[in-house]
Amino acid sequence: MENRITGVMIYYYFVCRRKLWYFCHEIRMEAENEDVILGKILDESSYSKNEKHINIDNIINIDFISEHKELHEVKKSKAVEDAGIWQVKYYLYYLWKRGVKGIKGKVDYPLLKKSVIVELSENDIKTLEKIIGEITEIECMDTPPMIVNSKLCKKCAYYDLCFI
C-alpha cells in the first residue's frame, strides 16, 4: 500500500518535525490560530477567477491550477519559503507519479505581490522519496520529536502544546 503522505505533511516536515508528529496523530491545533485563519481568508480572497482547492485522492489539495497548466500554492509570507516550495514540488511529484506531464508549479505571495516558480528535478525526486521515508518514521514514533525552539514557535498553532 502506498504511503498517504499529504502536502501538509511535506510542509510541516520542513517547518517542524514535532508539529508534523502532532498532525500525523490527528492532534490539530490550527482551527483557532489567528495566523491560520488569516491565511485561509487570504487564500479564499485571492485569485478569485480560478477554481479553488482541487483535491486529488484526499492526498494533495492544490489551491488552484491556472489556464497555463501551472499549479499554485498561496502563502501569506515567505517566513518558511522552503516549506512552501517543497510542498509544491511534492504536488508535482505526486502528479508525475500518476502520469501527469508538462505541468509547472508556483508559490504565490499575494500580500507581497511576488511568486516563485517551482520545477521538479531528478534530484528533487530522490530527495522527496527520502523525505517520504522520514515522514513515515516520524509518524510511527510513539512520542513526538524533541522541541526545537525556533523563531517560528511563538506564532505556531501548537505553541501551547510544546511550551506550556
Using alpha carbons, list the distances in angstroms from residue 75 to 40, 89, 114, 116.
Answer: 9, 15, 10, 11
- Structural domains in the chain? 7-163 (3.90.320.10)
The whole-angstrom separation of Cα 153 and Cα 16 is 9
Buried b (16+ CB within 10 A) or exposed e, 64-93: bbeeeebbbbbbbeeebeebbbbbbbbbbb
Per-residue pLDDT of 2-17, as tens digits, reads: 579 999 999 999 999 9
The 10s digit of each residue's pLDDT in 116-164 is: 999 999 999 999 999 999 999 999 999 999 999 899 998 888 998 899 8
pTM for this predicted structure = 0.86
C-alpha cell at 95: 502528479
